[in-house]
Amino acid sequence: MAAIHGRAFILDASIQALCPLLYLRAENPHCASRMQRLLEFIAHHPYLVAAAVLAAIVVVVYELRARVQAFAALSANQAVRLMNQGALVIDLRSKDLFDAGHIVDARNVPAATLESQADSLKKWRDKNVITYCDSGSNGASAARALIKLGFTKVFNLQGGLNAWVKENLPLTKTAGGKSSSK
């Protein structure tokens, strides 16, 4: 008595038990032809395939960049709350940009000298520290560097000073060592 069961064509259970491989069908006989068809498609449409690969690369780069910039990110309003609780604010821009306008009570530590000046910031290791630059990308990398140096509560102002200004929050200008609110 013959019966079809799953992938095997069963004539007799005892015969199948002796040699089960004789009664199994091939998994997918068209698998090789599908691969050949894919390669043929790629050969006939190289610009379309190149555009698809390029689009995939652009998406991956965009996502990686967004993740790098979003490291420990705070919005401007969240940063104000932390500042009201006594957080240290570190401006990573150059001295000229810092003098032109910075967040109130921010300390200017250029990104290039951050690791060398970490000892002067050691009393802040267990307190809230907020880093910022113009756009937020250097702030994220500085936040990572401070965490590697032993700081425990480091945050990055998402969008940097540009986001701060966009939220119409106050800046201070430094002229000859004096601070004035804007």
Classify burial at 88, counting beta carbons within 10 Å of its beta carbon; exposed 0-12, middle 13-18, buried 19 or more. Answer: buried
For 150, other C-beta atoms within 10 Å of its C-beta total 10
Task: Pick the more confident residue, 8 or 51.
Answer: 51
Question: Per the structure block, which two tokens stand in for 103?
Answer: 């967040």
CA separation for the pair 121, 130 (Å, rounded):
12
What predicted TM-score, i.e. pTM, was given to this entire model?
0.62
CA separation for the pair 115, 149 (Å, rounded):
8
Q: 150 — alpha (psi -120 to 50), left (phi > 0) or beta?
A: left
The SS3 call for residue 123 is helix
Residue 1's pLDDT band, with cuts at 50, 70 and 90, is very low
CA separation for the pair 117, 13 (Å, rounded):
80
Give every CB contact of residue 104 below 8 A, 6+ residues apart in sequence.
170, 171, 172, 179, 181
The tens digit of pLDDT for each residue in 111-141 reads 888 888 888 888 888 889 999 988 877 888 8
